[in-house]
Amino acid sequence: MKYSLLDSIESPKDLKALTIEDLEKLSQEIRDFILKTISKTGGHLASNLGVVELTIALHYVFNSPHDKLIWDVGHQSYIHKILTGRKHKFDSLRQLGGLSGFPKRKESNHDIFETGHSSTAISAALGIARARDLQSHDDYNVVAIVGDGALTGGMAFEALNDAGHSKTNLIVILNDNEMSISHNVGALAGHLSKVRASAEYNWIKKGTQQLLEKLPGIGKPIAKGMELVKRGFKSLLVHGMIFEEMGFKYLGPIDGHKISNIISVLEQASKMEGPVLIHVITQKGKGYDFAEDNPELFHGVPPFIMETGKAQKKNISTFSKTFGNKLVELARRDDKVVAITAAMLESTGLMRFKELFPHRIFDVGIAEQHAVTMAAGLAINGLKPYVAIYSTFLQRAYDQILHDVCIQNLPVRFAIDRAGLVGEDGETHQGVFDISYLSHIPNMTIFAPKDTEELRDIMDYTLDHDGPIAIRYPKGYTDLSLLKFYPCSEDNVFNPYKWETLINGTDCIILSFGKMLEVAIGAARILSQKDISCQGVNARCIKPLDESMLNVLSKSHSNWITLEDNVLTGGFGSAVNKFTISNSIDVDILNLGIPDNFVPQGKVEELLELISLDANSVANRIISFLNRNKENVYVHDVKTKT
């Protein structure tokens, strides 16, 4: 589709020649373009629809990349990408080799700082501003754009406190998409913002205070009294009192969908000395009814049908949904069960729990550290907390897991969603480190169910488990349909600590779990066609290892393969290696897992192929392993013979 204005924008410089009316029309064209693109590619929709006018105004007033724009979280940077010369590549968004869904420095010099987790922008911006100040030849604006959700993260307040104290020239834009605009208070606050931002007001304010202080005997007390009266008045009428107390000049709130207003305030802020905070009110999902009505549902979306807002994929039973439904069942059984999440109610499957048990669920906002330590407090008082957090976000609370939960051996249950490769969100969201950062902590138990039914069984066990416990599971679901080709003779009675044999075989053993069992079974199928018989084992308990089964396997097989969707360093394979070496077990091991580099965005199937962890690649690597020269040393081939 042709766009009269958007098609003419190749860089932010092209905005400078447009009128306000043109910019308003451009905002509508961008919304249409965003909707049509994301409905095909999937991505973060509601947040981007809400920042169209704000982003246009930022690039209209400032001169990127000379002026530095730092986006918090980064999933609201799509318009920024479009305006900085990447519109023609936008249909490759979040695809392998295409545009990242987040700011990416190697992608454009307009992307100043890479983000994927929340609450980091103000810290990064302050560092950039201080570096500018230390290099006297540099002179540019530094602007951090943060959402109101980011302020639920303690790191943002640490940065605000430091920035306000420093008096460094820095602009923080608070994109508030939760509050409604009150016409009376908003208009008054807007008026006060303009007055306080004007040079005349600041000159009069400073001059009056200096004059009063010169009056002998009474000047300073009067000046101090006037300041107290002024602060009291402002605390009643101006929302930003907390920011002013921290050292910021507060401007706002302003309507984030009126381009002329935003431009005016940005121009004023760029001339002010010291740290400035601009409070902008926006609406998530602006311009698309379905997203406006349900912004959480349209936060991150798969490809969808624009006319209905419905996802193109069929509604399936995912691990997240299964977790949420099972937790409801446990809560009905035991009134001590409580749920905790960090701004991810919908995504972690907890909406039904919230509806049924509103007083037993705690959404703490984007504050993973607080979530974990609060869970420790709940556990100390006899409750049974389940903490549902994505793998990539839980790593932000590593210290709290170690110090506040595991040292005290508290029964906190961690539901680690999106473990392993998540796909299109890329490096910052791949959950491939959780086994490494959890397994070395004393008292921690780690499970990885093979399917949703096994997740339910493991959750039953966790209800009365005494100590920290983690259940890691992938995005979506697992497809183990290939198991129908391998009827296993074992009668497996469920025990969460015991591994199970899924496929019988004689030439080698593949030890795997969770999502990677799909790959293991697929590789075994390929190998069987080459007359290689693989035994497939579901290693559902990652810590502790099923040592009794490992001892049994060592007597029947000398070639072991570990397969995991975690980094090899410190992962499941490392634990198996340590066990065999410590017990002088005479086997050779091939460790397969995530290599020592960050995995980009793309479909999970594409990424597995990229890093040679798809079924075909695994089968070929196993063939090479089995045919190796025993005297040679191979990458990931761990010799444990004594």
Q: Is a pLDDT exceeding 60 seen at residue 461?
A: yes
What residues contact 120, with CB distance under 8 A and at least 6 apart? Answer: 72, 113, 155
Backbone angles phi, psi at 415, to 5 degrees: -95, 100
Most distant CA pair in the chain: distance in Å?
102
Instruction: Read off the amino acid at residue 467.
Output: G
Catalytic residue (one of 87, 286, 384, 396): 396
Confirm whether 352 is a catalytic residue: no
Between 211 and 174, where is the model more confident? 174
Over range 536-557, report the average pLDDT: 97
Lowest-pLDDT choice from 21-30, 35-44, 457-466: 35-44
Q: Of 76-90, 178-192, 289-303, where does the model show the most confidence? A: 76-90
What is the token pair recorded at 243? 């920011």
Give the model's pLDDT for residue 223: 54
Concerning whether 86 is annotated as a catalytic residue, the answer is no
In this prediction, residues 189-194 reach a mean pLDDT of: 44
Kind of pairing between the strands at 445-447 and 541-543? antiparallel
Q: What is the mean pLDDT of residues 63-78?
A: 93
Cα(314)–Cα(464) distance, rounded to whole angstroms? 35
Cα dist. 628→526, 633, 635 in Å?
19, 9, 12
When mean pLDDT is compared over 209-223, 308-322, 419-433, the highest value belongs to 419-433
Number of H helices, E strands in the chain: 24, 20
Averaged pLDDT for residues 152-161: 91
What pLDDT, in 10s, does the model give residues 97-130? Answer: 999 989 999 999 999 999 888 899 999 999 999 9
Element (H, E) at 610: helix 604-610
Higher pLDDT, 587 or 490: 587
Average pLDDT over residues 227-244: 56
Nearest C-alpha neighbor of 515 from the set 436, 586, 583, 604: 604
Q: What is the pLDDT of residue 635?
A: 40
Q: Which of 296, 295, 292, 261 is nearest to 278 (CA)?
A: 261
Token pair for residue 122?
A: 């103000």
Is the peptide bond prior to 544 cis by the omega test (within 30 degrees of 0)?
Answer: yes
Mean pLDDT of the 583-605 span: 96
The catalytically annotated residue of 31, 87, 234, 284 is: 284
Q: What pLDDT shows up at residue 186? A: 42
Total number of residues shown for the chain = 642
Per-residue pLDDT of 134-150, as tens digits, reads: 987 778 999 999 998 88
Reply yes or no on whether 396 is catalytic: yes
Indicate the pLDDT class of residue 556, thresholds 50, 70 and 90: very high
All structural domains of the chain, each given as residue ranges with its CATH number in brackets, are: 6-194+239-293+297-301 (3.40.50.970), 319-472 (3.40.50.970), 496-639 (3.40.50.920)
Of the two residues 452 and 226, the one the predictor is more confident about is 452
CA distance 617 to 606: 12
pLDDT at residue number 290: 87
Distance (Å, whole) CA 468 – CA 490: 31
Mean pLDDT score of the chain: 88
Provide the pLDDT for residue 445.
Answer: 98
Radius of gyration of the chain (CA): 28
Q: Span 597-614, mean pLDDT?
A: 96
Confidence label for 484 from pLDDT (cuts 50, 70 and 90): confident
Amino acid present at 225: G
What tokens were used for 311?
């996802």
Beta bridge partners of 68: 142
- 324-338, 515-529, 619-633: range with lowest mean pLDDT: 619-633
- For residue range 361-382, what is the model confidence (pLDDT) as tens digits? 999 999 999 999 999 999 999 9
Pick the most confident of 40-44, 187-191, 393-397.
393-397
The backbone torsions φ and ψ at residue 466, rounded to the nearest 5 degrees and listed phi first, read: -105, 90
Q: What are phi and psi of 328, to 5 degrees?
A: -60, -45
Q: How far apart are CA 270 and CA 249, in angstroms?
A: 12
> pTM (2 decimals)?
0.85
Predicted pLDDT at 433 = 98
Predicted local distance difference test score (pLDDT) of residue 187: 45
**Average of per-residue pLDDT across 43-63:** 95
- 186-190, 237-241, 337-341: segment of lowest average pLDDT: 186-190
Among 53, 368, 424, 564, which one carries the catalytic annotation?
368
Distance CA 353, CA 347 (A): 13
What mean pLDDT comes out for the span 258-268? 96
- The residue with tokens 């008292």 is 443
Q: What does the pLDDT read at residue 182?
A: 34
Q: What number is the average pLDDT over the span 327-347? A: 96
| Residue 255 CB contacts under 8 Å (≥ 6 apart), including other chains | 181, 186, 261, 280, 281
Torsion sign, CA atoms 248, 253, 257, 258: negative
Of residues 135 and 607, the one with the higher pLDDT is 607
599 has a pLDDT exceeding 80: yes
Report d(CA 278, CA 272) in Å as an integer: 12
Q: How far is CA 407 from CA 108, 381, 401, in A?
A: 44, 17, 9
Q: CA-CA distances (angstroms) from residue 268 to 255, 392, 588?
A: 16, 39, 69
- Read off the tokens for 369: 């550290």
28 pLDDT more than 90: yes
**Burial bucket for residue 421 (CB in 10 Å: 0-12, 13-18, 19+):** buried
